[in-house]
Amino acid sequence: MSIVTTQPSDGLSRRGLLTAAGAAAVGLGVLPGQAVADEVTAYDAIVIGGGFAGATAARELRARGRRPLILEARDRIGGRTWTDTFQGKRIERGGTWVHWSQPHVWAEMMRYGLPIVEDPGPDRVILSTDAGPRSFPPAEAFGRIGELLNRVFEGSSALFERPFDPLFREAEVRAIDGLSLRGRLDQLRLPPQDEGWINGFTASYAGGTNARGAYTQMAKWWALAGGTNSAWGTATGHYRVEPGTGALVQAILADSGAQVRLRTPVTSVVDNGRQVVVTTRSGERFTAPIAVVALPVNVWKTISFSPALPAAHAAATREGIGVPNGTKIWLHVRGDIGRVYAQPAEGNPIGSLIPFASLGDGQLFVAFSFHDTFDGTDLRQVRDAVQALEPKADVVSIKAQNWSKDEFSLGAAAYMQPGQLTRLHEALQRPSGRVAFATADIALGWNGYIDGAIESGVRAARSLG
């Protein structure tokens, strides 16, 4: 595999040099690159996007005898996963957790011999009460939340009898697909404290508000995980790739043999019936018999497609599947607060606060925010929000990634809205002429997870023959 970094007109920037140096450090060949307007270069296949979906699609195309080109808009690979460092610790600024119930990512872990690491649990849990945030023993807090979740998703395993074929029981799924998480919680008529304990949990997946999120989305995940709260907890937030998600996507890319061009945003995709012509922001053009668009659904609308996107694809990118407000925040916290986990009620600026590691002068936490007016990149706002949950917490520094304001994601992880599964899902799996679409957002199974990105990449490449 070779990596080309596209230069600005005044020569290779310092950032481009650092990108090339970083690629060389992980053992990837690096070539100097210069974008030239009106130049046309032909390949066997083009993959737009260098995240897990794109990397997997490229490897699958290579296995089918094609020489793929990957065009990646960012100055790094990984898409909505991003292994970085903070306070001397390896962190993930995007997608993180894996599990053996996620078959596609687990197969890749075994293939490349990458170990996992288990995140330790908290020693206390802060939840909302009528009197404000209060600490509870983990067994009591998680025990009650588990009982509530089992009620919320009762019957999910029957509804999604074959969860990797989510419309296997189409009539039953269609009958309930218009229900939001808010609607499901309203059906249960929970006491105020139970409502406060559970609505923040579900809202943190749906993008901050239960009214936005489809009940069927989380019900499908629930069935995929095993249909119980204990299975859910270990399947979705307990194990990480020990050397980082970056190590896994790099391994997949290395096997793809693809040429990777970084800092190369795409503006146009034209399928003229004989070949696909892809034009970049700098004016450079590439052609290939087939192409895979491996970008988040929310980003499709920023590209000009000819012919126009099919109706379902156009609706999906207009409505959005990636949650519209999503910031992942790493925090260096001082203060005698222990390994505290916080899960406030829906509407709080902090969706959840999770302990990660001890530091020499404090602790490292990770938080998620889905609040539309809260700036998770602002230290003062973050400090105030955390102290409203735990007054002893002194947030001294942060590293945050607002995926919603990232022009190449325009949203955080996937969570479908009511009606989208039955209205859009099947059509989103199909290619449009010589162009296929791959993204974790539209995966059959674990959409929104690394597993879904890998599944989607394989399926898209195979759909083009």
- Read off the pLDDT band of 4 (50, 70, 90): low
Q: Which of 36-40, 162-166, 238-242, 372-376 has the lowest mean pLDDT?
A: 36-40
The SS3 assignment for 144 reads helix
Residue 354 reports pLDDT greater than 80: yes
299 is in an annotated binding site: no
Residue 39 reports pLDDT greater than 70: no
Distance CA 80, CA 447 (A): 13
Residue 265 reports pLDDT greater than 80: yes
Segment 255-283 shows an average pLDDT of 97
Helix 215-225 to helix 229-237 angle (10° resolution) is: 90
72 is in an annotated binding site: yes
- Read off the pLDDT band of 247 (50, 70, 90): very high
Sequence letter at residue 152: V
Q: Are 315 and 421 in contact (CB under 8 A)?
A: no
- Read off the pLDDT band of 456 (50, 70, 90): very high
pLDDT in tens, 55-84: 999 999 999 999 999 999 999 999 999 999
Q: Which residue has the tokens 């139970």?
A: 194
Residue 380's Cα: distance from chain center in Å? 27
As a whole number of Å, the end-to-end CA separation of the chain is 22
At 239 the pLDDT is: 97
Distance CA 258, CA 23 (A): 14
Q: What is the mean pLDDT of the chain?
A: 92
Q: Hey, what domains does the chain have and what are their CATH numbers?
A: 2-80+244-320+414-463 (3.50.50.60), 124-237 (3.90.660.10)
The pair of three-digit structure tokens given for residue 332, joined into one six-digit string: 């260096």
Residue 10 reports pLDDT greater than 70: no
pLDDT in tens, 371-390: 999 999 999 999 999 999 99
At 276 the pLDDT is: 98
Distance CA 47, CA 290 (A): 9
Distance CA 76, CA 218 (A): 31
Distance CA 393, CA 287 (A): 55
Q: Are 126 and 343 in contact (CB under 8 A)?
A: yes
Q: Which of 8-12, 33-37, 165-169, 307-311 has the lowest mean pLDDT?
A: 8-12
Among 147, 217, 208, 205, which residue's Cα sits nearest to residue 180? 217
- Read off the pLDDT band of 6 (50, 70, 90): low
Segment 195-211 shows an average pLDDT of 95
Among 97, 5, 82, which residue's Cα sits nearest to residue 51? 82
Q: Which of 23-27, 44-48, 371-375, 460-464 has the lowest mean pLDDT?
A: 23-27
pLDDT in tens, 285-325: 999 999 999 999 999 999 999 999 999 999 999 999 999 99
Q: Are 362 and 335 in contact (CB under 8 A)?
A: yes
pLDDT in tens, 84-104: 999 999 999 999 999 999 999
